[in-house]
Structure 1
């Protein structure tokens, strides 16, 4: 008789409760901070929930008040919770609203995302910045800020040098992610007061000003802050243009995954021939990650117009809290010591991509106004 039918049933406890206990402290702290940041944004509209959460995470990390017991829960907030937030973000996007901007603005959105990403990759090579670091900055600054950084991080495979331990490569990659998030916060925050000044200096009307802001500023929350300084009409256009950039998150991540797969096949003959070994099984994530599919489904469902307003009213704060919890967790990786360690080249790249995206956005706003 098979051993499985004769062996006594194990009385060992399931590992699930133990994992829940490990995860709960950090996850609870992330949620509490997200709620606090959200409450602050309701009281002070200029205080972006996501930005406040990131800054609180960075502050906590740098003053040393985060015990190690929080790390498992913070990891959950930075990955699964973030992906839930990205899926729910799709419910803000109705294709009809984006298409109503007109073909010129749609071309501009594609040009900003594609041009900014390409510029980030090419300038990263010129500056001899690691491939993954350049891609993270390029995606974050061209698409939708920290959420795009995190989405790209889920699609990338950490580079390993010859003979290097996987743990070392993973730690370096996490530093690169934290660096990209920190740079998004710094440069995006600078753009909040700068963009209204620039649009005023060029004498742009509300539509052109909103188009430039939406096409150039990194985070959705930063777009809202900058657009509101110009006016309601500019804010409405800016948010729609920015959400058009967010919509391109899905195809860009799919392209990134496809590029990762091609790169691995070139460097891993076993993976190229489909060999069933450990290397082949780790050939990379699926071509279209599950959360990206969820994001697209959410956009499609919202575009049908069948979702009741009451459901959207509930989904919006849930999405905000999920992203805020994730931003706090990502912010805990923003350590001053790490930024000093990576040097000035990522900062130069971030500034250059900001300029490229801003120039593309400004030119497009003038042409489409």
Structure 2
């Protein structure tokens, strides 16, 4: 079984993965992060950045960061300022420089990023959602022309150029029961995440169910494919696919990651972290999974190996640990990135002088493979 290099190096030697930090990810909490799937493209050969990461957060912005693999440096390149409220999701198109952001303001923005010029332009605003947009992903051939979103209890497909809805899921009358800790405005069946697999969209919900819909590539967009009761009465905050799309991973606030076989939509493993989890992602193309949560560390595990002997390792962020809300890996599995709560500072601020509260800045931590012994 192939081991992703960033994870393998950490297992072989404690110095095998180098950690770096961008000075500020956001002012306030950072809710999501994603690597550009294309890394440094041939057309961007003059760029100093080997990887591009986009984060989004409580300060109503999305921020574009560049990572240089030569010296492990990370720097903020551009800031997107079109949303009116916190930005909670980000997703990339595979074959273009586009990415999308979902926000609590009820919109999904589509952005064009020019890595060479470090310029971000708002290409379209997708308006008219029934509530907050807690999930988004690109559909089609990856050119960025079609986006799927989820808001409240429905998923929609959008024509980006026209800014119009082309299809949406049917109203649901079979909603589950949300847990006692779920706020009333999010119950029941509120969609909190969206991940694209092979012809499907997996949406984690506030009632602990992962609802799986067709993505329209074969058949009708929004047709119900499966419902997986993965985290009874706990919010499902994150969904993703690993092992070449053969395994669906769902993360619940009950502190578990549930693995589902997409061939049968049957659950075959539950992984308990012992504390609240918020996000997970695949590392490389195999069976490795990285997860984060309240503990403030990144735990990576061979999710499909023998449960009694699965290889695993832990990455501890530089500086004071804070709760982490998001984790992402690059395409090759040689870099991991995470961010989360604001990092408290004892230094006085200008805002404090005038009696106003300044949000603590959150930090973007990046680990990358190293040849150091």
Which is greater in Rg? Answer: 1
| Bigger relative contact order (CA 8 A; separation at least 6) | 1
Using the size of structure 2 for normalisation, the TM-score is 0.24
Normalized per residue, the structure richer in helix is 1
Using the size of structure 1 for normalisation, the TM-score is 0.24
